């Protein structure tokens, strides 16, 4: 197999990254009507892997691993990543992280809805970002990944890259009994609402940081649509807005478009609201 050097895809800092999808027109068709963001216009490079992909294929794994290593290098040397890491070090984000760590040295990262890293570019970029975060940030511990379409080949490559692939679909209902960073790039709002519902209480919500779709955009979209079903499916997202600290990530790359940091700062005046929403469930 011909080996491609990482240098052959690394561009200068002053220019956009060649081959990456840059969001220029916010009016373009969205991948999912539920998401307040632009979708992935890239056609699949290969057919999405079947869930019955049960045979080990070393050559296929090697190709995908090599591709992922190139993408990790591509993200690491990009202007986006430099800006992203700088933002994490800012008081606005750092204060939330240190508060949520509460003296603990590590925070587990759980990744939901990553998609097929073999078929699409955006999942490769998103997984690359997660791997680089673990490499660069001392407070990130174990990394767990789940998407129902992850194939055996993709699973083995992710494990080689240091991730644990979950075998059970939690549907976002992970109970945060310890500090957890949930990385949920471009997931449906139902998944966020399930996560908030499962942890709807003072002790559990303070254990959560979410790096995912902008809750503010969800709120704007829901209030604009005024659809009862939409409002009900996002009731925990909308209720949480009063005590959610959201910090937007600036990126023109489609893979990271409309993502924000979310942490939950609950004070005594919010406890009644927490109890009120919980009593409806």
Q: Which contiguous run of DSSP H or E holds residue 208? A: strand 208-213
What was the pLDDT predicted at 203?
Answer: 85
Strands in 163-165's sheet, in edge-to-edge order, are 163-165, 140-146, 107-112, 180-184, 208-213, 259-264, 244-248
pLDDT band at 86 (very low <50, low <70, confident <90, very high): very high
Give the chain's largest Cα–Cα span. Answer: 62
pLDDT band at 223 (very low <50, low <70, confident <90, very high): confident
**Domain residue ranges of the chain, discontinuous segments joined by +:** 51-280
Helix (H, G, I), strand (E, B) or coil at 158: helix
Least confident stretch, 17-26, 54-63, 96-105, 268-277:
17-26
| Residue pair 152/54 in contact by the 8 Å Cβ criterion | yes
What was the pLDDT predicted at 41?
Answer: 44
Least confident stretch, 8-22, 72-86, 194-208:
8-22
Helix (H, G, I), strand (E, B) or coil at 169: coil
Query: What is 51-280's CATH number?
Result: 3.40.50
pLDDT tens digits for range 46-64: 444 444 467 889 999 999 9
What was the pLDDT predicted at 29?
Answer: 35
Q: Is the dihedral of CA 235, 236, 239, 245 positive or negative?
A: negative
Highest mean pLDDT among 35-44, 102-111, 151-160, 218-227: 151-160
Give the other-Cβ count within 10 Å of 67's Cβ.
17
pLDDT band at 266 (very low <50, low <70, confident <90, very high): confident
Distance CA 37, CA 35 (A): 6
What was the pLDDT predicted at 7?
Answer: 34
Phi, psi of 9 (to 5 degrees): -115, 0
Task: State the average pLDDT over residues 145-154.
Answer: 96
Q: Is the dihedral of CA 87, 216, 192, 241 positive or negative?
A: positive
What was the pLDDT predicted at 208?
Answer: 93
Tokens of 209: 């940081």
């Amino acid at each position: 197999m011909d080996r491609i050097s990482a240098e052959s895809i690394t561009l200068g800092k002053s220019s956009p990254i060649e081959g990456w999808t840059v969001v220029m027109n916010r009016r373009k068709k969205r991948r999912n009507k539920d998401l307040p963001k632009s979708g992935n216009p890239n056609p699949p490079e290969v057919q999405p892997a079947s869930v019955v992909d049960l045979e080990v294929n070393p050559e296929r794994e090697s190709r995908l691993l090599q591709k992922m290593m190139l993408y990790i290098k591509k993200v690491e040397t990009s202007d986006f990543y430099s800006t992203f890491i700088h933002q994490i070090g800012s008081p606005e984000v750092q204060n939330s992280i240190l508060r949520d760590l509460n003296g603990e040295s590590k925070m587990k990262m759980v990744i939901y809805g990553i998609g097929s890293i073999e078929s699409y570019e955006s999942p490769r970029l998103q997984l690359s970002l997660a791997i680089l975060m673990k490499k660069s940030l001392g407070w990130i511990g174990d990394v767990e990944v789940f998407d129902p379409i992850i194939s055996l080949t993709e699973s083995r490559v992710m494990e080689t890259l240091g991730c644990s692939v979950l075998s059970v679909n939690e549907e976002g209902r992970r109970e945060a009994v310890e500090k957890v960073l949930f990385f949920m790039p471009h997931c449906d709002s139902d998944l966020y609402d399930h996560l908030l519902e499962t942890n709807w209480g003072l002790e559990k919500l303070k254990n959560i940081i979410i790096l995912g779709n902008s809750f503010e955009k969800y709120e704007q979209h829901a209030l604009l649509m005024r659809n009862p079903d939409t409002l009900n499916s996002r009731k925990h997202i909308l209720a949480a807005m009063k005590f959610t600290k959201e910090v937007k990530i600036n990126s023109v790359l489609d893979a990271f478009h409309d993502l924000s940091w979310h942490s939950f700062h609950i004070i005594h005046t919010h406890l009644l609201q927490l109890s009120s929403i919980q009593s409806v469930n």
